[in-house]
């Protein structure tokens, strides 16, 4: 029997799901996240450089013990690659920079089996698993359990939010504030009114459609998103937490007289002086 999606289970009950973002590629990190009870791990394969083979190993590690869903983000236009991500064991797709309903339909066509889509069937992979299910049962289970969020990262995408939600097979929308801020001409200004306005428009569109929405956040931001009805949140980043831990160690040992030649800080200051 294929794994049931934790994200799908939460959404079906009207509860929020929480994913943790992993940048590091040690399977032990993904195993730890799953064992600690997070609902999902965000695999950002739009930006990260590891292969599908490596992703499969990490997804396998994430499922050990209590297990965590794999929420995979391909690059825009990588429709056929999504099928292989699902075959590797991913339960959910976060499709980036979606421009409108036509693109959303193409994503559904690639990740869902007929009659909803046109996904090809292999079966000799871990999501069936390994030719061990009745084909009809597998197709129905896969179509029901796989989750799709289309990501709003441009003003064009925001204008098409309602049209995306009208596409059968789209479970919800996911806001990408960083790319949106650049496209909107306010790079990096996460507290700008245009960001809040975009969030409200997405929340309103999802509520009218009876579907879901979410965004990346910290705990403080999460409270505001939850109050607006968000049900798919992503937080953290293992590499940031490692960096923060090392910074804290340097602060503690700095008080004891230790000195650190922090190259990152030097480069930061140089770039700020040159371009700031």
Question: What is the pTM for the complete model shown?
Answer: 0.94
Query: Going by C-beta distance under 8 Å and a sequence separation of 6 or more, which residues neighbour residue 151?
Result: 73, 94, 95, 96, 97, 98, 157, 173, 174, 175, 176
User: 2 falls in which pLDDT band (50, 70, 90)?
Assistant: low
Sign of the alpha-carbon torsion through 208, 209, 210, 216? negative
Strand partners, 42: 21, 71
pLDDT for residue 1: 46
3-state secondary structure of 70: strand
Strand partners, 70: 41
What domains, with CATH codes, occur in the chain? 6-236 (3.20.20.60), 238-276 (no CATH)
What is the per-residue pLDDT across 199-230, written as a single tens digit (0 to 9) for each? 999 999 999 999 999 999 999 999 999 999 99
């Amino acid at each position: 029997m294929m794994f049931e999606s934790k994200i799908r289970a939460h959404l079906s009950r009207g509860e929020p799901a929480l994913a943790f973002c992993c940048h590091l590629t040690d399977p032990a990190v993904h195993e730890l996240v799953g064992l600690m009870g997070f609902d999902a791990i965000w695999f950002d394969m739009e930006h990260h450089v590891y292969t599908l083979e490596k992703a499969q190993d990490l997804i396998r590690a994430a499922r050990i013990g209590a297990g965590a869903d794999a929420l995979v983000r391909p690059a825009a236009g990588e429709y056929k690659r999504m099928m292989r991500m699902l075959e590797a064991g991913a339960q959910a797709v976060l499709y980036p920079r979606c421009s409108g309903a036509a693109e959303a339909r193409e994503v559904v066509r690639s990740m869902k089996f007929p009659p909803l889509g046109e996904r090809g069937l292999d079966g000799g992979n871990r999501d069936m698993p390994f030719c061990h299910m009745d084909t009809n049962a597998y197709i129905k289970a896969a179509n029901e359990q796989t989750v799709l969020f289309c990501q709003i990262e441009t003003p064009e995408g925001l204008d098409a939010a309602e049209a995306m939600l009208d596409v059968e097979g789209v479970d919800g929308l996911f806001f990408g504030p960083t790319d949106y801020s650049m496209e909107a001409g306010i790079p990096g200004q996460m507290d700008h009114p245009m960001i809040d306005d975009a969030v409200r428009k997405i929340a309103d569109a999802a509520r009218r459609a009876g579907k879901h929405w979410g965004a990346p956040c910290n705990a403080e931001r999460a409270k505001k998103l939850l109050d607006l009805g968000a049900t798919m949140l992503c937080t953290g980043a293992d590499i940031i937490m490692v960096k923060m831990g090392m910074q804290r160690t340097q602060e503690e040992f700095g008080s004891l007289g230790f000195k650190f030649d922090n190259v990152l800080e030097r480069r930061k200051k140089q770039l700020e002086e040159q371009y700031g």
